[in-house]
Amino acid sequence: MTPNPRQAELLEEVQRQGSVSVEALAERFGVTLQTVRRDVKLLSEAGLLARFHGGVRVPGSTTENIAYRQRQQIHSGAKRAIAKAVAKAVPQGCSLILNIGTTTEAVARELLRHKGLRVITNNLNVATILADNPDCEVIVAGGTLRARDRAIIGEATVDFMRQFRVDIGLIGISGIEADGTLRDFDLREVRVTRAIIESSREVWLAADHSKFNRPAMVEAGHVSQLDMLFTDQAPPPPFAQLLAEAGVQCDVAGDTA
């Protein structure tokens, strides 16, 4: 499903709080309990929310990510804001790797006017977007295609990424734990992310606020391996201290939703 504007705001509110009562949502949006219950039913059936008695929460799992189409819809304004900040920081004429994720796809859209770029990607959506930039050379990784999100993964993809040494490796991840660990759900995807980190002179992470304290099963890296973090809200404790101690520059963009 594609949430309507109120439902999209409801999703954002639940993401901000983690869990919230139906009554609080009705008061927040100035609608009836019946309206909220109807919205919650539709959103939970689509897998965007999880219901419990009297309220709703974000779907939580350490083993399975939210479906790709749903991830496209969640925090879309935050992702656009982050993408604009990343594109502003990317210099003309540089080489970079863009990996899997809806945020990196948003970044690709903001790079359509950049000149002299050489982009390596294992994301067919990114490749398709940047194909419309005549001043951008796009190099697509080989490997196994994951149909649901057009990601290319596997050992062949890892070997492919290790051939390069780029100016910037821009990665997205599924969660950042309180000890600074970067996590994702698919081991094959994580191995590609690790290869990207190794192949990049600078490592940039694009992650909206919902990724802080979000659980995922596989360790992809640590904040100490980053040079820059692009996000849409100031990182909550203890992340600001972790980033400062690691020397990671944090760029907080405004949410344009």
Q: What is the pLDDT along the chain (257 residues), one digit of tens a residue?
A: 567 888 888 887 887 777 789 999 999 999 999 999 999 998 888 777 888 778 888 765 443 444 444 544 455 788 999 999 999 999 999 999 999 888 999 999 999 999 999 999 999 999 999 999 999 999 999 999 988 889 999 999 999 999 999 999 999 998 899 999 999 988 999 999 999 999 999 999 999 888 898 878 899 999 999 999 999 999 988 999 999 999 999 999 964 44
Residue carrying the six token digits 């190099």: 139
Q: Is 52 helix (H, G, I), strand (E, B) or coil?
A: strand
- Label residue 234 exposed, middle or buried (CB < 10 Å: 0-12, 13-18, 19+): exposed
Residues 6+ apart with CB under 8 A from 111: 87, 90, 117, 119, 130, 133, 136
Q: Report the 10 Å Cβ neighbour count for 103.
A: 29
At the topology level, CATH places domain 70-252 in: Rossmann fold (3.40.50)
pLDDT for position 64:
42
Task: Spell out the domain ranges in the chain.
Answer: 5-59, 70-252
* CA dist list (Å): 256 to 21, 105, 146: 26, 17, 31
CA 168 to CA 147: how far, in whole Å? 27
Q: Do domains 5-59 and 70-252 have the same CATH topology?
A: no
Long-range CB contacts (within 8 A, 24+) of 41-48: 42/1, 42/7, 43/1, 43/3, 43/7, 43/10, 43/11, 46/1, 46/70, 48/3, 48/11, 48/73, 48/74
CA 74 to CA 61: how far, in whole Å? 16
pLDDT for position 84:
97
Q: Is 43 helix (H, G, I), strand (E, B) or coil?
A: helix
pLDDT for position 86:
97
Q: Is 247 helix (H, G, I), strand (E, B) or coil?
A: coil
Record the pTM: 0.74
Residues paired with 230 in a beta bridge: 206, 251
pLDDT for position 76:
73
CATH class of 5-59: mainly alpha
pLDDT for position 43:
86
